[in-house]
Amino acid sequence: MSKILKIRGLEKTYSSGNKQLTVLQNISFDVEKGQTFSIVGPSGSGKTTLLGLCAGLDQPSAGTVELCGHDLSTLNEDQRAQLRNEKVGFIFQNFQLLPTLTALENVSVPLELRGDIQAQQKSTTLLEKVGLGDRLHHYPSQLSGGEQQRVALARAFANPPAILFADEPTGNLDEETGENVIRLLFDLNKEAGTTLVIISHDLELAHRTQQILRLKGGQLFTNEPTNVP
């Protein structure tokens, strides 16, 4: 299998007054194309910082990130943004839907901006897959948290990304709703053949992926495969 994400010697340090705060230290790992992968650790362990570096949203203090065959350190900000637009998908804890757009528009607008003439049709099909066929014209304020996250799922897979980062995707959901969202996430991911990286503090969720990387105090604690095929 080819490596879609290669991390080598990654470090991130922030200046706080006259002190240096090291958030990540000497992190190295690979994610294979098509793999399901989780990054787990307690609050403050550096999970979200690591996600930002992996996706090119931030730059490391040391080390390298190779994403989809591109060394991010050789790309400027516009080139990194283009790479994310073409290859990377995101699902966030707080959904990040546009409040003035309907569910259908939240999913279809990114496709329309890419010139996809089938944007509406694709978006409708995806929303039906996540059980929202009767909510197409509802605004986010008219949807429950679980429904909003399902819209976010449909949006993430509308233009199938090569790699999808899901940052605490059930963090704002109750247990039953969260389980439904995770089931849909894995089903859509399997159908699309996407590489899935889940950032979570939930070890039970992590054990549903093929590989678990554990962070502790900004350092790599363990990196081990699970029994998931």
Q: What is the pTM of this model?
A: 0.92
Q: Is the pLDDT of residue 30 over 90?
A: yes
Mean pLDDT (whole number) for 138-150: 95
Q: Tokens in use for 165?
A: 């980062």
pLDDT at 10 over 90: yes
Q: Per-residue pLDDT tens for 88-101?
A: 999 988 999 999 99
C-alpha span between 6 and 173 (Å, rounded):
32
Rounded average pLDDT over 207-219:
94
- Given a contact cutoff of 8 angstroms between Cβ atoms, the answer to whether 153 and 181 are in contact is yes
Mean pLDDT, the chain, whole residue set: 93
pLDDT band at 77 (very low <50, low <70, confident <90, very high): very high
What is the pLDDT, as a whole number, of residue 42?
Answer: 87
pLDDT of residue 16 exceeding 90: no
Domain containing 31 equals 3-225
87 or 159: which carries more pLDDT confidence?
87
| Non-local CB neighbours of 77 within 8 Å, separated by 6+ positions | none
pLDDT, average across residues 61-89: 94
pLDDT attached to residue 1: 56
What is the mean pLDDT of the segment spanning 208-222? 93
Q: In the chain, how many domains are there? A: 1
pLDDT at 50: 94
Check which CATH number belongs to the domain holding 127 and give it.
3.40.50.300
> What's the confidence (pLDDT) of residue 143?
96
Other Cβ atoms closer than 10 A to 16: 8
Mean pLDDT over 49-75 rounds to 94
